[in-house]
Amino acid sequence: MKNRIFIIGGHFTPAKAIYEKLKDNISLDIYFVGIKHTMLFDRALSSEYKFAKENNIKFISINTGKLYRFFSLKGILSLILIPIGVIQSFIYLIKYKPKVIIGFGSYIDVPMILVGKLLNIKSIIHTQTSIPGLATRLTSKRAEKICISFEDSKKYFDEGKTLFTGNILRKEIFTSKTNDFNFKNNLPIIYVTGGNQGSHFINQLIFDCLDTLLEDHNIIHQTGSNTIHNDYQKSIELKDKLSDLKKQRYISKEGIWNNQIGEVFSKASLIISRAGANSVSEILYLSKRAILIPIKNSAYNEQENNAQIARKLGRVIVLDQDETTKEELIEKIKVILSRTEKKYILDTLDATDLMYDEIINLLN
């Protein structure tokens, strides 16, 4: 009989990497658990849902909420969804009886892992951030094993069940497998990304100075698929207004496929991004120049902390969202592309292998 495992999405990049490692083990029956849509009021499909459907992976959709740090209609509705998520977790865990639940610090982890503990189902979590968020703090008390990306994070957890693995990186970033992003010049290429969902703030900032930036740069712009702001559609409309020469220098996409990300990272002279743990880790391990704009009011100020770690270790400039103007962005792009410091080398563990071993141990 196969051992059933639940992999919880939400933080898709490490979840996918662990799935890729586990999928060839014929003794496992793997399910993805996650939200179908990216966020409340947004009809865009989540990355984990699309990935599961494209790869014929069994998918369990859960409707649960999270705590917001500010008062809003979305926050109220999200609060109402929390008990619904708990009830759904009970139903699915009793129905499918997984032996292990694997979480990555998303709010979706909370009902699944806490209910799982009541049902004597083992769990393992991996946190990508240096300072654990609320979801990780809650689930770590019930998980059998806690894998961390930064050694400094050990102080937040029970030492006896904490393992330093490093961050889980997509293997696709290290190899260029496509040739889909080509420009008819030798100008530096800027890759703009806000993660899977995109960043409306960064998108708008790029839109405001797009015409100026395209005078001296090529741009690959990953807008995200958010249907509230419709930034991808805006990027198409803006491109139509550009001169023919500048149109050739601008490529916008809702998302970058995993088989394309190696090409994009390889060709990019500069990355403009939020400061999520996965984004920062990839930038550091690939020694890319970057301008990071952390999300304001992220849990425990984790994005600002990630950005400052990157600034100390890498070729990185950090901007404050509240103070950043299009003029400052243009100036900082000139500054960082003119800097000539050497690439740094960052040692890495194979976090995927280390976590795989811990998952197999829990099954025994």
Q: Tens of pLDDT along 227-272?
A: 889 999 999 999 999 999 999 999 999 999 889 999 999 999 999 9
Q: Is the pLDDT of residue 322 over 80?
A: yes
Q: Is residue 280 part of a domain?
A: yes
Please state the separation of Cα 354 from the chain's center in Å: 20
Q: Which residues contact 172 (CB under 8 A, 6 or more apart)?
A: 258, 259, 261, 262
Confidence of residue 116 (pLDDT cuts 50, 70, 90): very high
Per cent of the chain over pLDDT 70 is 96
Q: Is residue 358 part of a domain?
A: yes
Looking at the fold, whether 68 and 179 belong to one and the same domain comes out as no
Q: Render pLDDT for 172-186 as a digit per residue (tens, 0 to 9).
A: 999 999 999 999 999
Confidence of residue 130 (pLDDT cuts 50, 70, 90): confident
Q: State whether residue 178 is helix, strand or coil.
A: coil
Q: Which residues contact 191 (CB under 8 A, 6 or more apart)?
A: 219, 220, 222, 264, 265, 268, 270, 271, 272
pLDDT average, residue stretch 279-297: 92
Looking at the fold, whether 131 and 194 belong to one and the same domain comes out as no
Q: Identify the pLDDT of residue 348.
A: 59
Looking at the fold, whether 241 and 108 belong to one and the same domain comes out as no
> 73: domain CATH number?
3.40.50.2000
Q: Is residue 343 part of a domain?
A: no
Q: Is the pLDDT of residue 71 over 70?
A: no
Looking at the fold, whether 151 and 216 belong to one and the same domain comes out as no
Q: Identify the pLDDT of residue 349.
A: 61
Contacts within 8 Å (CB) and 24+ apart, 306-310: 306/129, 306/130, 306/275, 306/276, 306/277, 306/280, 307/275, 307/280, 309/130, 309/150, 309/280, 310/275, 310/280, 310/283, 310/284
Looking at the fold, whether 18 and 147 belong to one and the same domain comes out as yes
- The label of the residue with tokens 């003794």 reads 27
Give 193's strand partners. Answer: 222, 273
Q: Render pLDDT for 43-69 as a digit per residue (tens, 0 to 9).
A: 788 889 999 999 999 999 999 888 776
Q: Is residue 345 part of a domain?
A: no
Looking at the fold, whether 63 and 189 belong to one and the same domain comes out as no
Q: Identify the pLDDT of residue 47.
A: 86
Instruction: Round to whole Å and give the CA distance between 298 and 158.
Output: 24
Please provide the DSSP assignment of 40-94 as one string. Answer: TT--SBPHHHHHHHHTT-EEEE-------SS--HHHHHHHHHHHHHHHHHHHHHH
Q: Identify the pLDDT of residue 286.
A: 92
Give 290's strand partners. Answer: 271, 316
Is the distance from CB of 31 to CB of 9 less than 8 angstroms?
no
Q: Identify the pLDDT of residue 41.
A: 66
Q: State whether residue 240 is helix, strand or coil.
A: helix
Structure tokens at 225: 């698929």
Q: Is residue 198 part of a domain?
A: yes
pLDDT average, residue stretch 95-100: 98
Looking at the fold, whether 44 and 58 belong to one and the same domain comes out as yes
Is the distance from CB of 124 to CB of 147 less than 8 angstroms?
yes
Q: Identify the pLDDT of residue 350.
A: 79
Instruction: Round to whole Å and give the CA distance between 322 and 342.
Output: 31
Question: Is the pTM higher than 0.95?
Answer: no
Structure tokens at 272: 């403009």
Looking at the fold, whether 66 and 90 belong to one and the same domain comes out as yes
Looking at the fold, whether 260 and 303 belong to one and the same domain comes out as yes
Q: Is residue 99 part of a domain?
A: yes
Looking at the fold, whether 235 and 298 belong to one and the same domain comes out as yes
Q: Which domain holds residue 247?
A: 173-338
Is the distance from CB of 28 to CB of 54 less than 8 angstroms?
no
Instruction: Round to whole Å and give the CA distance between 143 and 161.
Output: 9
Smallest CA-to-CA distance from 228 within 250, 208, 203 is with 203
The structural domain count of the chain equals 2
Looking at the fold, whether 183 and 146 belong to one and the same domain comes out as no
Structure tokens at 24: 């060839």
Strand order in 270-273's β-sheet? 250-253, 218-222, 189-193, 270-273, 290-292, 316-318
Lowest mean pLDDT among 102-116, 119-133, 292-306, 344-358: 344-358
Q: Identify the pLDDT of residue 11.
A: 86
Q: Is residue 344 part of a domain?
A: no
Q: Give, in order, the Cα–Cα distances in Å from 352 to each of 88, 127, 165, 210, 349.
A: 29, 13, 8, 38, 9
Q: Identify the pLDDT of residue 345.
A: 62
Q: Render pLDDT for 143-175 as a digit per residue (tens, 0 to 9).
A: 999 999 988 899 999 999 999 999 998 889 999
Q: Render pLDDT for 202-221 as a digit per residue (tens, 0 to 9).
A: 999 999 999 999 999 999 99
Looking at the fold, whether 245 and 313 belong to one and the same domain comes out as yes
Q: Is residue 76 part of a domain?
A: yes
Strands (E), the chain: 3-8, 28-34, 58-61, 100-103, 122-127, 145-148, 162-164, 189-193, 218-222, 250-253, 270-273, 290-292, 316-318
Structure tokens at 164: 């330093």
Instruction: Round to whole Å and give the CA distance between 282 and 136.
Output: 21
Instruction: Round to whole Å and give the CA distance between 310 and 43.
Output: 33
Q: Is the pLDDT of residue 102 over 70?
A: yes
Q: Identify the pLDDT of residue 23.
A: 96
